[in-house]
Structure 1
Amino acid sequence: MPFRLRTAVSGAMLATAAVLLCPAAAAARPAAAPAAPGWSAAPAPGAGAAPGAPDRPFFYLEGAPGTVLADRLSLSNPTGRTVAVRLRGSGSGAGAWLTLASKEVRIPPHTRAGVPFTVTVPRDAAPGDRSGTLFATGVGKGTGAGRRATVPLHLRVTGPVLFALTVEKVSVRRAGGAALIRYTLVNRGTTALRPRIGVRADGLFGPLLRRAARTQPSALAPGRALDLTETWSGPPALDAVTVRLTATAAGGAHDSATASYTAAPWGVLAAPLPLLAAGAGGLLVLRRRRRGAGPGGRRGEESAPGPGGGTRPSGDEPADTAGVLAGAGPGARA
């Protein structure tokens, strides 16, 4: 084979081998750098309690009631123009307890700014987890205006965890063909609970209602009270009933309370009224007769005239001896 042809073939074989051995280098060439996405917000690298990675996806703070926890929000502006960002915290608990060093920040081009903030845990805060959110919104005109970024905030309030639950203000009232059982659940502990409520009713002759425990649809926060109603369809028309409510929750929290309920139709209650009225009338007449009678149970009798124009005392009064003697004529015997 001539030298030139052999050289060309060898060159082609080497080029093919290079492509086969390095397909990624041959096929994937770096694309042009994308345009700057605008400013961004994130937890400051290396700050906070956890996680310890340089780039944290959220804030995590932990402290006891009455403590002040500090951290820092990082705002980056990779664009070539100054941007203005407005900051605020949101959410119950951690978001409501958050205080920012500045509510609006201007970030120069190609600059990263750190905004300190604190979370003040109230002294009466119950132990447990809280959540919140830091919102950053671009304001003004130009690059980044209207852009919005959110950073989650997780807070754990430390302290002893107490599970306690009470059932209060139990009452039973008839409502048409049903009975309404009203009661109040109170979370006396330091952590949120999902109570389970069981209902039972017992009459004079045995059980009337057995309702298995059911979990409430929403959690009950520490220190909160919840008014609830249970409907009892078809209660007895005539009975003396004791209704018992039993509440249970995680951590061994439990309590029970009772209420009495007397069921009686209106006719049964109204029937004795005429008899009572008649008895009261007869007693009144008898009392008037006794009040009009004289001593000894007899009415007073008028005195009859005696000899000599005097009067003769009745059998119930003592004789007036002096009057008798004065009325006696001559020859009367003493």
Structure 2
Amino acid sequence: MPSAARALCLSLLTLLATAPQAAAAWGPPLLEGHGGWSLAPAGGGRPSFYAEGTPGTVLRDTVSVTNPGGKPVTVRLRGTGVRVTFAGTRLRVPARTRADVPFTLAVPAQAAPGDRPAAITARDDHGRTATVPVRLRVTGPALSALTVEHVAVHADRITYDLVNRGTTVLVPTLAVRADGVFGRVLDRAPRTLPVRLAPGRRLTFDEPWHGRPALDAVDVRLTVTAEGGARDSAEVSARFVPWGAVALGAGLVSLAGAGLVVRHRGRRGRRGPEPGPTTASEGARTELTGAVR
């Protein structure tokens, strides 16, 4: 075989051997073992969906299900990570057919600016799936704000709510202080709370307070800060009274008062009879007797 023909044959063999890899790299991935149906953004040439908008925006696009096989295939569509609404969630694709399904993607109203992971997934009746990533970028100004609310003092703890009023995810830091009649009774340095507070989210927290005063009037102040300049504080007053001791003291006072009454009555009982008034006849007899003598 001439050298030119031999080189041409080798080139054809190489092209045939690399064709599947090239198709996989440039075209939508085919799912092996069930007819080769595939899921991809409509229009071709896109490995994933890309969407960008401000919080509350509704975006539109189209997803394609391609069935190159000889039998129909039925799939169910769903979105993960964000709210996706399809023109139809159950889709029957005939053999050697491509079906295009429009959908809308809603950017969460309280979403923080930045990238959010999401995906569109198709699942056939045999439980096999295909997934296309969705790259969602939320635009808008970054605002860091939070509030501390509903502060309350209980027997051995302080409860409160934290609310993210901004557009960024916050990691709050808490400081606690309490001042009583005779000075400060609680002073906890700022510490980072083990939570990531998403925009618009409200969480209730429980701060333990062991060894609180038994008898005092205190003002408790909570101060919360976060990155980006977020800061808020709230204060509540509490009165600590040992009601058990007060009840015992009141009982002892009542018993002491009852004892005084009993003793007083006892003294009156030991007295002799009070002399009664002298009658007119008795006085007359006394005077008469004195006259005879």
Matched AA of 2:105: V
Cα distance change of structure 1 residues 89 and 127 upon mapping to structure 2, 3 Å threshold: closer
Aligned equivalent of 1:235:
212
- Return the match for 1:170 from 151, 155, 160: 151
Give the C-alpha shift of residue 31 in structure 1.
6.4
Within 5 A, what are the aligned runs for 1:16-165?
Answer: 37=32, 38-44=36-42, 54-57=45-48, 59-65=49-55, 67-91=57-81, 94-95=82-83, 98-121=84-107, 125-128=109-112, 130-139=116-125, 145-165=126-146
Matched AA of 2:99: A
Matched AA of 1:77: N
Give the C-alpha shift of residue 159 in structure 1.
2.9
Unaligned runs of 5+ in 1: 1-23, 47-53, 140-144, 279-334
Matched AA of 2:75: V
Matched AA of 1:62: E
Partner SS state of residue 246, structure 2? helix
**CA distance in 2: counterparts of 1:167 and 1:75, whole angstroms:** 49
**CA distance in 2: counterparts of 1:65 and 1:36, whole angstroms:** 35
**CA distance in 2: counterparts of 1:188 and 1:204, whole angstroms:** 35
Q: Cα deviation per residue 1:72-128 (whole Å; 9 max; x = unaligned)?
A: 21323343333222212244xx22xx2212223333444443322112447xx1352
Partner SS state of residue 126, structure 1? coil
Native 8 Å contact 1:126 1:157 kept in 2: no
Give the C-alpha shift of residue 225 in structure 1.
1.9
Give the C-alpha shift of residue 183 in structure 1.
1.0
Aligned residues: 235
Cα distance change of structure 1 residues 276 and 253 upon mapping to structure 2, 3 Å threshold: farther
Aligned equivalent of 1:305:
none
**CA distance in 2: counterparts of 1:202 and 1:218, whole angstroms:** 28
Matched AA of 2:66: S
Matched AA of 1:195: P
Unaligned runs of 5+ in 2: 1-9, 21-29, 256-293
Matched, 1:247 2:224: yes
Native 8 Å contact 1:195 1:249 kept in 2: yes
C-alpha RMSD of matched pairs (Å) = 3.7
**CA distance in 2: counterparts of 1:128 and 1:183, whole angstroms:** 24
Native 8 Å contact 2:222 2:235 kept in 1: yes
Give the C-alpha shift of residue 230 in structure 1.
0.8
Q: Cα deviation per residue 1:248-302 (whole Å; 9 max; x = unaligned)?
A: 1121111111222233323653477579989xxxxxxxxxxxxxxxxxxxxxxxx
Matched, 1:182 2:166: no
Matched AA of 2:39: A
Cα distance change of structure 1 residues 31 and 268 upon mapping to structure 2, 3 Å threshold: same
Q: Cα deviation per residue 1:118-143 (whole Å; 9 max; x = unaligned)?
A: 12447xx135255443221112xxxx
State the TM-score, normalizing by the size of structure 2. 0.65
Aligned equivalent of 2:235:
258
Matched AA of 1:102: G
Native 8 Å contact 1:181 1:232 kept in 2: yes
**CA distance in 1: counterparts of 2:53 and 2:120, whole angstroms:** 19
Native 8 Å contact 1:64 1:159 kept in 2: yes
Give the C-alpha shift of residue 194 in structure 1.
2.3
Matched AA of 2:201: R
Native 8 Å contact 1:132 1:153 kept in 2: yes
Partner SS state of residue 154, structure 2? strand
